[in-house]
Amino acid sequence: MVPEQRILDALVQKVPEDAEIVDVSVGIFWTFVQTQYGSAISASAHRWCEDPPGAIIPYAGELVGMRVRDVYPLYDSASLTARSLANAAVSASFGNHEMTGRCIPGRGQDIIASICSNAAGTLRIALVGHFHFADELRALGHHLDVFELEGRCEPGDIPNTRFPDFLPLADVVIMTSSTMITHATEDILRQSRADAKKLIVGPTVPIHPVLWDYGLDVVSGSIVTDPAQVAVAARQGGNHKQFTGCAKVNYINPSTDIGNDSK
């Protein structure tokens, strides 16, 4: 059963009391935060979901030196940009060594391809968000339901308001990590079947074992290996491909056998 508490609400309770922001960049594409414990990035969500008129980043110019716990209330802001900042700050408050489960370096789509290629029969796959590898999954003969925010749907997409009609049918649920910013992650997990394989993919997802409590099988994210490079690239409007100081990783829930055949 998926806990009632939101993932980030559970995670902030584990943030060290003294964790504070030592560097921050709110870029066009990505928000970067560094604390004395780690670094993280989070999607600057205004690119695909407009902030309310007049939205600002509270404490801008004063964020360095602020405690992460004091910044966290921004996660409930009407501004998705401010939510992204709070998400990155919490994510940056833990070292990657705290994550449990098998770690497989590389792209999340390779783990997904392995799951789908080894399946016995046709899978019904729910893709929450537009993933560039969707056509590859279709080529394997599987049925895809692609969900998008209402108002952003392309032809063939299903609006996210119809999750209850379709998610219970899915054998595999793959969601973009940006659902952390729209506060949709937990609802998606609750509406998915208990026996469905559930994956979250993208750099916005925190890398912490609390995610296993929510029934996820795979967490595919990014770890910051060179904070200085990522901070500068984010500040200068860089996208994820320009973050040479990040490494893509996949963590497999210790209770699942997914990925045992991966190299």
What digits encode the pLDDT tens for the residues 50-104?
677 767 788 999 999 999 999 999 999 988 999 999 999 999 999 989 999 999 9
- Bridge partners of 30, per DSSP, are 43
- Kindly list the structural domains of the chain, giving each domain's residue range(s) and its CATH number in brackets, ordered by start: 7-94 (3.30.390.100), 98-225+240-252 (3.40.50.11590)
Structure tokens at 234: 């984010």
What digits encode the pLDDT tens for the residues 232-259?
999 999 988 899 999 999 999 999 877 5
The answer to whether the predicted template modeling score (pTM) of the entire model surpasses 0.75 is yes
Q: For the residues 212-223, what does the mean pLDDT come to?
A: 97
Q: What is the pLDDT of residue 195?
A: 94
Q: For the residues 198-227, what does the mean pLDDT come to?
A: 97
What digits encode the pLDDT tens for the residues 123-157?
999 999 888 888 888 888 899 999 988 777 888 89
